[in-house]
Amino acid sequence: MFKNHFRIAWRNLIKRKVFTAINILGLAVGFGSSILIYLFLNYHLSFDNFHANSDRIYRMVTEEHRDDIEYDPSVPPAFAKTFLNEYDYAEKVAKIVNYDGLVVDMEINGVESKFKEDIVFAEEDFFKIFNFPLVDGSNNISLAAPNTAVLTETAANRLFGKTDIVGETFVLENDRTIQITGILKDLPKTTFLKSELFVSFDNVKDFFEFAGSESWGGITTNLQCYSLLRPNQDISTIETALLELPIKHRAKSKNKHIYRLQPLAEAHLDPAYGGLDPTLLWVFGIIGLFLIIIASINFINISTAQAFYRSKEIGVRKVLGSFKQHLFWQFLSETFVIGLFALLIGIGLAILFLPSFNALFQIELSAYNLLNTQFIVFLTLVLLIVSFLSGSYPGILMSRIVPVLALKGKLDHNDTGGATTRKILVVAQFAISITLIAATLIISRQIDYAVNTDLGFDKDFVVMVDIPSELDPVQLNGLKERLGQITGVKNVSACLSSPGGSNSNWGTSIRYHNKAEPEEFSIEIKAGDTNYLNTFDIPLIAGRNFFESDSLAEVLVNERLGEKLGLNSPEEMLGKKFEASGGSVKATIVGVVKDFHDTDFTHAINPVFIGAKNSWFSELAIKINNTNTALTLEQIGEEWSNAFSGYIYEYRFLDERVAEQYETEQRYLSLSKVFSALAILIGCLGLYGLILFYVGQRTKEIGIRKVLGSNVANILALFSMDFFKLILIAGLFATPIAWYLMEQWLQGYTYRTEIHWWVFALAIFSIMVITLLTISYQTLKAAIANPIKSLRTE
């Protein structure tokens, strides 16, 4: 019986090839989008679930309680040893320190090669907690001895051109000779580790002394601590026990620590500690569902509209003995065949656009991810659900047709589904499209507001160049002087980082004006020389700039510090003593600068101090002219390379770095644009199919109207107004929904754009224009036809 249903279904679909093609294409776009979304969700939900004993692996994190609560995905350097030795909760505890952009130098066949690599300094037990095997399949990974390293196969091939390199050496930062003791299998893409080169933890002190210490004095997010707990541990009990550690080791600190254990499986999707916001996954899932719903609505609309024209076919079948259930399953079979073809095309579309999808979200999904049982089950369920939901309603309507009325041609459209049902479904389509367009406009406005609003400093034509750590002051000043003599260079400043758009924010405690107790809040350090203000065009509103000195004796602060201290004017801070960074900074405030955005717009402006300390400098900020930029950059590169022959010259424009802070928002925007376009495309296909039926249904009416004097514009307006009314109704539903959703999204920004009424008006108008363009061809074709022919053929 089912075989017969499918044979008849196939024959019927061939006859109605235009409408079949519309349905297939609409569903294919919906299926293809859903497949990409499925891969994206599966990728992020499967992070770090492959480790042996992964349910017992935890990352140690910190809640920092000052005047507000901050969440840090790290702990003080001394925590690891204390947790392992003084408590009996963990089998192993290990630290790693991530350090980006170190120079790796090796000699291959007599030729010297240099690379910039992200390095992980790892304790030996790190590889006993995580099951990252060597290429020989063993876990005999040894980083106990100083100056040893392991790297992945991919890294070995990239650096050495081969993998048989155990025992060979490379030079790290032109200083330390490191011997390779093992080659790891390539790490899975779904792991928290992004670096592929691991060096003994003993070497971290050469580059970051604090991270390699046993200090309780502070936290650096570069340091991560992981533990493998003993079986059957109660996490709440452990966290309660850890409350005593800050009391013992940080009793005098105003920065109150609470140490937490974060399950490894939750780390990737925990935005509080730097993970991905799971809201993004929900947004993806909902949009994928919307696209499938829109495609299904198209199918229902076109199928119910077709029912009127298939009424005689149904009448004949009923007269010849077909029962309601036979007709129902017949139409459901047709839907399944269409769905199956659409699914195959959708898989092809997903594979075709997978590289672009990867580039957009900076992930590495592969078509091979489709070759698994879980995915096949997912596709099967989607196909069956969509086929049933799309085909059951038209099937029920058609099976209820009265054969006598059908054969006599006395059915009207209400007998085959009715205009009301189709209008409700079209309104739902329009409402989804309007919501997506409005969201796209608001996200775009927020990003534009964040990137183009005055940040309080000049980010245009400022080139940021790394400099080696522990640089001799004489050498640094000589380089700055030579760079300043280049024609295209306006200003040069040595600094720790730029005022904003940097991941080098450094917070510390502060003691103001010889107070007995430190303040409740922290302050951001922006180390820079005397050219810092001029290079970034930061206005000085009180006092003066600090003088050049061998010691950090004078500092500048921003207005925000005065507000946090409860002062009435910036001038009140001038001449006051200032201590920070655990007392290592003792200086006098000599100037106050205007507030600038030291971080992105999701956070309020922090208190900031600016001071000159050569050991803190890690970058050069070079302000250049906007003419002949390429030549200027080339000359900067020549001077830099002459000064640091053993290093690699790289530069970044500051405006690019600022824009990088909004990568997540840019992805939201790209997501909104792509899926708004897809929703509109699917909706247009459905509208095109409906207008074919409406024009066919009203051919005689069009002819009579033309005979009575109507012109083409009148007839086009007649058809358009029917849809425009539906769009306005959809807009009434979509506007409050879109406003609420985007208002909630904007709550995450301290500095934000406003939601204006015209955003929704523009979204509604856009849908009207797109609808008009969609229906115009068939409507105009009918309107300019010979009315006599229309009246004869009706």
**Rg (Cα) of the chain, in Å, rounded?**
34
Q: Average pLDDT for residues 400-428, to the nearest whole number?
A: 60
pLDDT at 514 over 90: no
The CA-based dihedral angle spanning residues 536, 537, 541, 547, taken in that order and rounded to the nearest 10 degrees: 60
pLDDT at 751 over 70: yes
Band (pLDDT 50/70/90 cuts) for residue 306 is low
Q: For a pLDDT cut of 70, what percent of the chain falls above it?
A: 86
Question: What are the helix and strand counts (H, E) for the chain?
Answer: 24, 22
On average, the pLDDT of the chain sits at 84
In angstroms, the CA 329 to CA 335 distance is 10
Q: What is the model's pLDDT at position 13?
A: 47
More confident site: 762 or 109 = 762
Angle, vertex CA 454, rays to CA 452 and CA 457, nearest 5: 115
Q: Is 140 exposed, middle or buried (0-12, 13-18, 19+ CB in 10 A)?
A: exposed
Per residue, the 3-state secondary structure of 498-561, as one string, reads: CCCCCCCCCEECEEECCCCCCCCCCEEECCECCCHHHHHCCCEEEECCCCCCCCCCEEEEEHHH
pLDDT at 729 over 80: yes
Inter-axis angle of helices 418-452 and 757-783, to 10 degrees? 130
pLDDT at 80 over 90: yes
Contacts of 157 (CB under 8 A, 6+ apart): 163
- For 205, the 3-state DSSP assignment is helix
Q: What is the model's pLDDT at position 19?
A: 67
Q: What is the model's pLDDT at position 156?
A: 93
Of 712, 709, 690, 702, the C-alpha closest to 775 is: 690
Residue 335: C-alpha distances to residues 10, 396, 397 (Å): 10, 13, 14
pLDDT at 123 over 70: yes
pLDDT at 226 over 80: yes
Band (pLDDT 50/70/90 cuts) for residue 318 is low
Of 254, 255, 229, 264, the C-alpha closest to 73 is: 264
Contact 640, 478 (CB under 8 A): no
User: Greatest CA span in the chain, whole angstroms?
Assistant: 103
pLDDT at 720 over 60: yes
Q: What is the model's pLDDT at position 398?
A: 63
In angstroms, the CA 331 to CA 91 distance is 62
Contact 782, 715 (CB under 8 A): yes
Q: Using one digit for the tens of pLDDT, what is the confidence trace for 140-167?
A: 888 889 999 999 999 999 999 898 999 9
In angstroms, the CA 561 to CA 564 distance is 5
In angstroms, the CA 273 to CA 775 distance is 50
Q: Read off the tokens for 140.
A: 């005999």
Band (pLDDT 50/70/90 cuts) for residue 138 is confident
pLDDT at 607 over 80: yes
Contacts of 517 (CB under 8 A, 6+ apart): 254, 511
Q: Is 408 exposed, middle or buried (0-12, 13-18, 19+ CB in 10 A)?
A: exposed
Per residue, the 3-state secondary structure of 240-274, as one string, reads: HHCCHHHHHHCCCCCCEEEEEEEEHHHHCCCHHHC
Q: Where are the alpha helices (DSSP H) in 320-456?
A: 324-361, 373-399, 403-408, 418-452
Q: What is the model's pLDDT at position 577?
A: 92
In angstroms, the CA 608 to CA 596 distance is 9
User: Does the CA dihedral 673-674-675-677 come out positive or negative?
Assistant: positive
Q: What is the model's pLDDT at position 405?
A: 47
Most confident option among 2-16, 264-278, 689-703: 264-278
Q: Using one digit for the tens of pLDDT, what is the confidence trace for 566-583?
A: 999 999 999 999 888 777
199, containing H or E segment: strand 197-200
Give the chain's length.
794
Q: Using one digit for the tens of pLDDT, what is the confidence trace for 164-211?
A: 999 999 999 888 899 999 999 999 888 998 899 999 999 998 888 888
Residue 236: C-alpha distances to residues 264, 545, 614, 628 (Å): 16, 51, 45, 62
**Could you please report the per-residue DSSP string of 745-761?**
HHTT-SS-PPP-HHHHH
Per-state percent for the chain, helix, strand, coil, to nearest 5: 50, 15, 30
Q: Average pLDDT for residues 763-772, to the nearest whole number?
A: 89
More confident site: 537 or 10 = 537
Q: Average pLDDT for residues 365-372, to the nearest whole number?
A: 81
In angstroms, the CA 772 to CA 774 distance is 5
Band (pLDDT 50/70/90 cuts) for residue 730 is very high
More confident site: 287 or 783 = 287
Q: Using one digit for the tens of pLDDT, what is the confidence trace for 241-291?
A: 999 999 999 888 888 999 999 999 899 989 888 888 888 788 788 888 888
pLDDT at 654 over 80: yes
pLDDT at 585 over 90: no
Of 460, 472, 489, 419, the C-alpha closest to 637 is: 489
**Euclidean distance between the first and final Cα of the chain, in Å?**
38
